[in-house]
Structures are given as structure tokens and as C-alpha cells.
């Protein structure tokens, strides 16, 4: 998962053709539709790479 | 993970002062040291302080380096990035700080600013949708998709947002008109045709945070019942257009633009239309004509665009800054937060392009209601060279000139209108005591006259006649009746021009007559321009008592119009002098005086 739009695992179905209503929240707080530490970490990796400081991410 | 983030201002202002070359030199230096993978370099949006560009801000240290040159990069890498020490000589220094300032919180330019619209500018990579989402982006859209369209209009009304493009019409009310207009096809248009000389607020927002505009348009689309939008942006903004195209592609890829957005059933697409740069195309009906491929000319209203807009369909037109405010308002708790800033009639913040004779030029975002004095002296750092503040032109070429007497005037829609000026799109041109107000009115009117589309007679002919009179006055051929004629023509144009640009273009003349009538009278009756601008109306003379004969003026005079021996007082040969002003700029003794033609009177410079 390099970008938020990439699926974290096979459970993520969001694409432009099969949209998920929770996609925006899911980017930073996800995964929302299932529980998985690894999937959460994948999202965290994306934010940690570019967040300038601890105030950067706004939930 | 990166050790540090190097945010380089990649907006047009800093690019023109060499930030691309700075970035290249920095990359080269990091490569040379074998540490390039430890640091992330981003060409970000504008941090506003254009006067001291090019700028780099290093995070998480939050150190603000300015006035950079490529030769500084080796020291910056070795001392700061490798050595962990701040490079003092590259920090901000100025008369307003006791010691070199490290970051925003220690630079007076930023003390009174509040970043709403510019919240992400210089903080995120404008070409990354992920970073926009991390900063809370598209959350307001998600919320809007769960709301009834008219409830969104109500929230925007409750927030008190007024259009930032010039007229200040309540945005929520405008949206509700389009919402209630009949028909299945409606449009949202983003007016990014920023035409005021010296204004670059919209450009900086588009370059620094393009997704905020897309999100604002999407929410507007949802509220108005529109499924398509246009961004009308002048072609002279290639970087803004490039970043918008990237942002649109990303939003489409993420399913935030297109069909069935976030599984809501809401569809929206955005097109970009490049304008050719005509000033009149900033007027909404001219802009709509231009989108349709017709010549950009206003048309009478009604019908208003909310009823009959682009391609004959109901259309909402919002300015860039207005749209950038929308995600802040529509997010959870946004209405109260937005409305907590500003005055009773003007809520939120306003972005201004601060230019002219002020020390700190650049882009500033301040709460509505801040006074002119605070903007010019606290944010702007006062007048260049310690000279006296004379006036400020607010609202671009169609705005008005506010004099020193009104320095405590709060900047909000109603106070500016009462003073004869307008908010306009947010240009603030500061003038010092060496500005001739007749010449200034002439300059702004010549701009609007050249840009008049010619469709309506009052604007086309009226501005021409006014300009002829102003030309005569500045050439020393004014007659006492000219002031009444100017006043009468100006009011006729205001009352009868077809569009807002025509109706407001006499403002610089009217306000300068209102506040600086004595200067007009001096030009007309005494044939004298005390500011030393209108060349036929003054002469330079050298103060024989104070001149020490340093020959600085002799050396700089391009036409050898100054004579005198070394250490002896010099003299201007009036027949040769072209009044270019080189001598007065050069004289260290302040002994070159501006006097009436043929007179010996001492007026001082």
C-alpha cells in the first residue's frame, strides 16, 4: 500500500467504480470495515512518511 | 522515514526569485554528501513572505530560512542537516526583530495572521492528495453528502461567508438561488480569473492547495444540485493550472470526482477553461460567455446566472478564496469556528496581496476587522525607508484610495464601502508621501479604460473622457471646472455602466478627489506636483546651503544636467534636466528639492 487508494488487503473494495462511503475516514483512521493491525499499520506508514510533526494529521 | 522535511516555496513568486535553482543546488549537495535518502524535498505552496524569498522551512525543527542563494546550500547541508546547528546568517533579520528569527512565531509578519484559507500552503505537497486527506481534506465533502442540499446552504449562510471575489454577496444565499432554480442540469463555476495588477491571492491558493478548491466545488455542487463544474483560470497561471490538472486526476482516481462519489449517488465532474487574460472576464457574465467560446463581454442582469448561466443553465459562480473556505465551514463544528473570527457583518479571514511602498510585501491572511494600521505597520512592517504613510489603494484598480486619516478603519466589507473603497478581490497597494494621487488615479483609470470591453457607452466613452481630463491635469493644462466634470462623469458611469467593473472603475478618481482634493487643486491652480511625479509640474533644485559637493548626483545624472565643482554646492541646469529622479534617489544629504517650475520656493523632498 503506497497510496491511500491502494487496497490494504482483499477486504478493501474501494475503487472509483466500486466506491466505499467511508473511504475518506478510512485513509487515516482505517481500516473501518474490518479489524487488522497490519492494515492499520500500512496506513500509518503512509502518514508517518510525510507528516511534518505530530500536529500534521487532522482526524 | 525521513529525518527532516525540506519545504521549499514552489509558488510563482519564489520560483521567479530562483527557488527551482535552490532546490537543484540542495539536491546536488545532499547527493554529494551521500545523504539524499534521509531528507524529503518538497516544492510546496506559498508561506506568504514573498519579500524575503526564496524560502525553505525545515521540519520538524521549524526553522525558517530566507533570502537564499544557491551558494548557501552547502553550508545549510553541512551545518544544519549534518551538524544540527542553525545557520544564523540565513534566518530572518530586520528592524522589527532584536535577534535573527527562527520561525513563524518569532517573525512579526506572522503575528497577526490567521491561516484558514492558507492552512495547508507551505505545509503539504500540493501535488499529493494523500497529504490533503491527512490534513482533514474531503471530510467536509463526506459530511455534505450525508446532508440535504438546502441544509448545506443554510450552514454556509449561518457561517456568514460572503463572496471573496469583490461584491461580498452571501454565498449560502447565492447557492440557495441555484438550488431552487428549475431544471435538471446546473453548473458550478470557479472564478480564477484574477486580473487585478499586483494581486496573486487566488494563484497562491491554487498553487498551494488545489484540492481545497475541488472540495469546495464538490460541496457547492451538492448544495446547488449541480453535476458539473468549470474552473476558469487565466492561462498566465501555468503552475496553478498544472496543479489543478494533477489534483483533478488524483480525485478521479480516488473516486472523489466522477460518478457515485463515495457511494452517495452524487456525480460531479470538473473541467478547466483557460482564459486569455482579459480583465473583464473576471466579471461573472463575461466569464460565462468566455466559457461558452464567445467573446468575453458582460450582459445585462436579470436574468442572473443562478437562473440563466453557462450554456443557459442555472449556475453558481464563486471565487477561488470563497471556495477554499467551504471545507472549513461544512466540516463538523465548522460553522461556529468560522463565525468566531471577524466582525458582525464580515466573518472569517481575508487574504490580501500586500504590495507597494510597504516593507514586507507578500501574501497575508488576516481576520476581518483588522485595521489598516495593523496590516501596514504590524504585518507589513511599516513604510519602506521609514517614509510617511500616505494612503492605501484597496480592492484593485476599481477600488478606492483610503487616506492616512482613516488608518484606524477596520477592514471589512461595510467599512470599506463607507470609505468609498471596496474589498475587491484583496489587493492592497500601499503608498508613501512621494506618491502623487492625481497620477495614481490616472494610472488606475488608464488600466480600466484599456481593459474596458467597449460594450456599454458609459464605460467605453466615459472612462476615455475622464482619462483625457486627468492627462491634461497632470500635464499642467487643467482648468478649475475639471474637478466638477470628473465628478459628474464618474457618477454617471457608476450609475449607468453595464457591469460591476464599469460601475466601480471611477472609484480611484472619486476617492482621490474626496480625500486629496487639495492635490488636484494644486495641480490645476498652481501648476505644481509636490510629489515630484508629474514632470511638467515641478523642477529639481539643489539646496545651496546643505549641498556638500559630493558629486554623487553629478555622476548619476544621465543627461549631465547638474554642474558644480567638488566640495562646492551644485546646481541643476533646468533646460537639460529630464526630471528622471536619479539625483534625488542618490543624494545622501537630502538636499535636492522639488519646487514649482521657475520658482525658488523651498518645498523639500
Contacts of A32 in chain B (CB under 8 A): none
Q: Residue B141 and residue A5: Cβ atoms within 8 Å? A: no
pLDDT bucket at B197, cuts 50 / 70 / 90: confident
Tell me the mean pLDDT in the region B502-511: 96
High-pLDDT (> 70) share of chain A, %:
100
pLDDT bucket at B424, cuts 50 / 70 / 90: confident
pLDDT bucket at B600, cuts 50 / 70 / 90: low
Q: Point out the residue among B130, B141, B255 whose CB comes nearest to the CB of A16.
A: B255
From CA B402, how far away is CA B504, in angstroms rounded? 15
Domains of chain B: residue spans and CATH:
4-107 (3.40.30.10), 129-339 (3.40.50.11540), 349-432 (3.10.20.600), 437-525 (1.20.1440.230), 538-595 (3.30.70.20)
Question: What digits encode the pLDDT tens for the residues B535-591?
Answer: 999 999 999 999 999 999 999 999 999 999 999 999 999 999 999 999 999 999 899
Predicted model pTM? 0.94
A15: distance to nearest CA of chain B, Å? 6
Decide: helix, strand or coil at residue B6: strand
Tell me the mean pLDDT in the region B199-211: 96
Q: Residue A25 and residue B5: Cβ atoms within 8 Å? A: no
Question: What digits encode the pLDDT tens for the residues B289-338?
Answer: 999 999 999 999 999 999 999 999 999 999 999 999 999 999 999 999 99
Task: Give the contacts of B400 (CB within 8 A, at least 6 positions apart).
Answer: B393, B394, B416, B419, B420, B421, B422, B507, B508, B510, B511
Buried b (16+ CB within 10 A) or exposed e, A16-51: beebbbbbbbbbbebbeeeeeeebeebbeebbeebb
pLDDT bucket at B603, cuts 50 / 70 / 90: very low
Cα-based distances in Å from B317 to B178, B298, B503, B572:
10, 14, 20, 57
Q: Point out the residue among B125, B253, B264 whose CB comes nearest to the CB of A16.
A: B253
Contacts of B259 in chain A (CB under 8 A): 16
Question: What digits encode the pLDDT tens for the residues A18-43?
Answer: 999 999 999 999 999 999 999 999 99
Task: Give the contacts of B509 (CB within 8 A, at least 6 positions apart).
Answer: B441, B445, B466, B470, B486, B490
Find the largest Cα–Cα distance for chain A.
35
Tell me the mean pLDDT in the region B458-463: 97
Interface of chain B against chain A, CB under 8 Å?
1-2, 5, 7, 40, 59-60, 62, 123, 125, 128-131, 133-136, 138-139, 141-142, 145, 252-256, 258-264
pLDDT bucket at B105, cuts 50 / 70 / 90: confident
ipTM of the complex: 0.98
A29: distance to nearest CA of chain B, Å? 10
Contacts of A28 in chain B (CB under 8 A): 133-134
Please say if the pLDDT value at position B599 is more than 70.
yes
Decide: helix, strand or coil at residue B367: strand
B336 grid coordinates: 461556529
Tell me the pLDDT of chain B averaged across its residues.
Answer: 95
Instruction: Please tell me the least confidently modeled range out of B7-11, B100-104, B279-283.
Output: B100-104
B27 grid coordinates: 539536491
Query: Can you count the helices (H) and strands (E) in chain A?
Result: 2, 0
Question: What digits encode the pLDDT tens for the residues B472-486?
Answer: 999 999 999 999 999
pLDDT bucket at B605, cuts 50 / 70 / 90: very low
Top pLDDT among B435 and B423 is at B435
Question: What digits encode the pLDDT tens for the residues B331-369?
Answer: 999 999 999 999 999 999 999 999 999 999 999 999 999
Tell me the mean pLDDT in the region B114-129: 96
Amino acid at each position: 500500500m503506497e497510496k491511500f487508494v491502494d487496497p490494504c488487503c482483499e477486504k478493501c473494495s474501494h475503487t472509483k467504480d466500486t466506491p466505499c462511503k467511508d473511504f475518506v475516514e478510512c485513509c487515516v483512521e482505517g481500516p473501518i470495515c474490518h479489524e487488522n493491525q497490519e492494515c492499520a499499520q500500512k496506513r500509518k506508514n503512509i502518514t508517518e512518511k510525510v507528516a511534518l510533526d505530530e500536529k500534521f494529521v487532522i482526524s | 522515514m525521513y529525518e527532516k522535511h525540506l519545504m521549499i516555496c514552489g509558488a510563482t513568486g519564489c520560483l521567479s526569485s530562483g527557488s527551482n535553482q535552490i532546490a537543484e543546488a540542495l539536491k546536488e549537495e545532499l547527493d554529494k554528501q551521500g545523504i539524499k535518502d534521509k531528507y524529503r524535498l518538497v516544492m510546496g505552496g506559498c508561506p506568504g513572505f514573498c519579500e524575503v524569498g526564496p524560502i525553505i522551512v525545515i521540519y520538524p525543527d521549524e526553522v525558517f530560512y530566507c533570502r537564499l542563494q544557491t551558494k548557501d546550500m552547502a553550508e545549510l547541508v553541512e551545518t544544519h542537516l549534518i551538524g544540527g546547528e542553525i545557520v544564523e546568517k540565513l534566518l530572518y533579520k530586520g528592524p522589527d526583530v532584536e535577534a535573527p528569527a527562527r520561525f513563524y512565531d518569532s517573525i512579526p509578519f506572522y503575528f497577526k495572521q490567521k491561516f484558514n484559507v492558507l492552512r495547508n500552503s507551505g505545509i503539504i505537497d500540493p501535488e499529493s492528495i494523500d497529504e490533503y486527506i491527512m490534513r482533514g481534506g474531503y471530510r467536509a465533502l463526506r459530511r455534505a453528502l450525508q446532508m440535504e442540499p438546502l441544509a448545506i446552504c443554510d450552514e454556509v449562510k449561518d457561517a456568514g461567508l460572503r463572496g471573496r471575489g469583490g461584491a461580498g454577496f452571501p454565498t449560502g444565499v447565492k447557492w440557495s438561488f441555484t438550488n431552487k432554480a428549475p431544471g435538471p442540469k446546473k453548473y458550478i463555476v470557479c472564478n480564477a480569473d484574477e486580473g487585478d495588477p499586483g494581486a496573486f491571492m487566488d494563484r497562491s491558493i491554487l498553487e498551494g492547495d488545489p484540492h481545497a478548491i475541488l472540495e469546495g466545488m464538490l460541496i457547492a455542487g451538492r448544495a446547488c444540485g449541480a453535476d458539473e463544474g468549470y474552473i476558469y483560470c487565466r492561462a498566465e497561471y501555468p503552475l496553478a493550472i498544472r496543479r489543478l490538472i494533477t489534483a483533478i486526476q488524483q480525485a478521479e482516481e480516488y473516486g472523489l470526482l466522477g460518478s457515485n462519489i463515495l457511494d452517495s449517488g452524487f456525480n460531479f465532474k470538473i473541467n478547466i477553461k483557460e482564459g486569455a487574460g482579459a480583465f473583464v472576464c473576471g466579471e461573472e457574465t463575461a466569464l460565462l460567455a468566455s466559457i461558452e467560446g464567445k467573446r468575453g463581454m458582460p450582459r445585462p442582469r436579470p436574468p442572473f446566472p443562478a437562473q440563466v448561466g453557462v450554456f443557459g443553465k442555472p449556475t453558481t459562480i464563486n471565487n477561488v478564496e470563497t471556495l477554499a473556505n467551504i471545507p472549513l465551514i461544512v466540516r463538523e463544528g465548522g460553522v461556529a469556528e468560522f463565525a468566531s473570527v471577524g466582525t458582525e457583518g464580515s466573518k472569517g479571514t481575508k487574504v490580501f496581496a500586500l504590495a507597494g511602498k510597504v516593507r514586507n510585501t507578500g501574501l497575508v491572511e488576516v481576520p476581518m476587522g483588522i485595521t489598516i494600521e495593523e496590516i501596514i505597520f504590524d504585518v507589513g512592517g511599516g513604510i519602506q525607508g521609514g517614509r510617511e504613510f500616505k494612503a492605501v489603494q484597496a480592492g484593485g484598480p476599481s477600488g478606492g484610495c483610503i487616506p492616512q486619516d482613516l488608518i484606524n478603519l477596520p477592514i471589512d466589507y461595510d467599512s470599506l464601502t463607507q470609505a468609498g473603497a471596496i474589498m475587491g478581490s484583496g489587493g492592497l497597494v500601499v503608498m508613501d508621501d512621494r506618491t502623487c494621487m492625481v497620477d495614481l488615479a490616472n494610472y488606475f483609470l488608464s488600466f480600466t479604460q484599456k481593459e474596458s470591453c467597449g460594450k456599454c457607452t458609459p464605460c467605453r466613452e466615459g472612462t476615455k473622457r475622464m482619462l483625457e481630463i486627468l492627462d491634461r491635469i497632470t500635464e499642467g493644462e487643467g482648468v478649475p471646472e475639471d474637478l466638477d466634470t470628473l465628478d459628474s462623469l464618474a457618477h454617471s458611469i457608476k450609475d449607468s455602466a453595464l457591469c460591476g467593473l464599469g460601475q466601480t472603475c471611477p472609484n480611484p478618481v472619486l476617492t482621490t478627489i474626496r480625500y486629496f482634493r487639495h492635490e488636484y487643486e494644486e495641480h490645476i491652480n498652481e501648476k505644481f506636483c509636490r510629489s515630484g511625479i508629474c514632470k511638467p509640474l515641478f523642477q529639481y533644485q539643489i539646496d545651496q546651503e546643505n549641498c556638500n559637493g559630493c558629486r554623487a548626483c553629478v555622476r548619476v545624472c544621465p543627461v549631465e544636467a547638474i554642474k558644480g565643482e567638488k566640495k562646492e554646492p551644485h546646481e541643476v541646469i533646468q533646460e537639460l534636466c529630464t526630471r528622471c529622479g536619479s539625483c534625488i534617489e542618490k543624494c545622501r544629504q537630502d538636499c535636492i528639492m522639488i519646487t514649482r517650475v521657475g520658482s525658488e520656493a523651498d518645498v523639500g523632498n
